[in-house]
Amino acid sequence: MTDKPLTRNITIGEPTDLSAYEASGGYQAIRSTIGKLSAADVLDMVKDSNLRGRGGAGFPTGMKWSFVPMDKTPDGPKGHKYLVCNADEMEPGAFKDRLILEHDPHQLIEGMILSAYTIDADIGYIFIRGEYHTAAKRLRDAIMEAKLKGYLGENILGTGYSFELYLHSSAGRYICGEETALLNSLEGKRAIPRAKPPFPQVSGLWGRPTIVNNVETLCNITHIVAFGADWFKSLGLGDDSGTKLFGVSGRVKNPGCWELPMGTPIREILEDHAGGMQDGYELKGFLPGGASTDFLLPEHLDLAMDYDTIMKAGSRMGTGTMIILDDKTCPVAMVRNLEMFFARESCGFCTPCREGLPWIYNILDDIENGRGRPEDIEILERQGAFIGAIGNTHCAHAPGAIEPLSSALKFFAEEFNQHIEEQRCPYSHASGPKSGRTH
């Protein structure tokens, strides 16, 4: 056993090949499970472990899987079931899944085989971000190695269970982080989120029962099956079980990614692992879980990084990868850059997102470049309240985009007002002509 199961094989350099992975105990969980435990037994183990999805939403994994219909006809399954790994990782500031994909690809493959067995899926896809060229190559090599060794394909290890796994490189769209948009893209359609219900667990890829989980979630399955639910729960420091890949980017001394217990204090992540702020810089705020989360402040440093604690503080743990705002970086400019990204990545399906996010970006661009107007703050607040409300848009893309803006308007109101009053950015002394906006 280990207290860092996800990164036990990871060294920066060449990836863990099949022989090294097997030497560390890899694929033993498959040998001890498939054909020896029922799918229901494994599902109960995942439920008991209290594993929550590591893609950002934190939904209980076992509960999600339990929605997949397991009925069969006397002649066998009624049709295909699919397991899809979301390896798109398009959230700005997130790079945790890439660590596993590039350095321990067999861990993901074993996790997917066990997960597929649990939901009785016979086909799997890894939907990988198009820019992850190194990860894609290493995954292809690992899939081939696993297939040649009998871990993938027909009649796995003579158990009678079959599972085919394919790698699909995406076109690189942020909206594919939403599971139904991902499924549309995988089917060759435009990446637009689907209306729900029906949910993918019942009618997903090509209308068949489908589970979509992210890389880190699926990798945890291997270790839960190998060491048990109680062991997994013991790794967490609070109510949330297991470990988490936490990351920090920004002006810290040691930006990076570390596997730590769920519930690790933010201060420990930032100061002990990321090395604290670089000399000459002070912490002004941070996004705790990637670009689509609300800002938190230095007063929140002693909070535990777990789903419920961060939610109660007014933000979301999201991907667990913090983006640092220092005292010499303009918060208006930072939010402007984020909103530019979200506006460009809108799928364009619904008007509030398609039209509202570019409008917000244009206002922020004017404020940052000395063309702001006093009424702009009220417009931003009103737009944020409308677009940010779940139910006013087709999916959660726009509400997520609004989170950093709304919190910045609350925490950094002085900076916004100073931009408008002085008609310049006090951080860069930028200025410009009056805006010609039509909105």
d(CA 77, CA 162): 12
Residue 241 has pLDDT above 90, yes or no: yes
Residue 431 is predicted with a pLDDT of 44
The reply to whether 41 and 138 lie within a common domain is yes
- What is the pLDDT averaged over residues 88-116? 95
pLDDT in tens, 260-311: 999 999 999 999 999 999 999 999 999 999 999 999 999 999 999 999 999 9
The reply to whether 144 and 267 lie within a common domain is no
Domain with 403, as residue range(s), is 331-422
Residue 402 is predicted with a pLDDT of 96
Strand, coil or helix: 161:
coil
The reply to whether 214 and 256 lie within a common domain is no
Of 263, 396, 251, 244, whose CA–CA distance to 321 is shortest? 244
Residue 12 is predicted with a pLDDT of 75
Residue 246 has pLDDT above 90, yes or no: yes
Residue 57 is predicted with a pLDDT of 80
DSSP track, 261-307: ETT-BHHIIIIIIS-SBPTT--EEEEEBTBTTS--B-GGGTTSB-SH
pLDDT in tens, 386-421: 999 989 999 999 999 999 999 999 999 999 999 999
Taking residue 369's Cβ as centre, other Cβ atoms within 10 Å add up to 21
- Rounded to the nearest 10°, the torsion over CA 37, 39, 45, 47 is -170
Confidence of residue 430 (pLDDT cuts 50, 70, 90): very low
Report angle CA 248, 264, 57 to the nearest 5 degrees: 70
d(CA 369, CA 269): 35
pLDDT in tens, 139-165: 999 999 999 999 999 999 999 999 999
Residue 285 is predicted with a pLDDT of 98
Count of domains forming the chain? 3
Domain boundary among 209, 235, 261: 235
DSSP-derived letter for residue 152 is: S
Domain boundary among 187, 214, 235: 235
Residue 123 is predicted with a pLDDT of 98
CA 339 to chain centre: 19
Residue 251 has pLDDT above 70, yes or no: yes
The reply to whether 231 and 170 lie within a common domain is yes
**Is 12 contained in some domain?**
no
114, exposed or middle or buried, with CB in 10 Å at 0-12, 13-18, 19+?
A: buried
Contacts 24+ apart (CB under 8 A), 415-424: 415/330, 415/331, 415/332, 416/332, 416/367, 416/377, 417/377, 419/332, 419/367, 419/368, 419/370, 419/372, 420/367, 420/372, 420/373, 420/374, 420/376, 420/377, 422/370, 423/370, 423/371, 423/372, 424/370
Confidence of residue 171 (pLDDT cuts 50, 70, 90): confident
Residue 437 is predicted with a pLDDT of 55
The CATH number covering residue 88 comes to: 3.40.50.11540
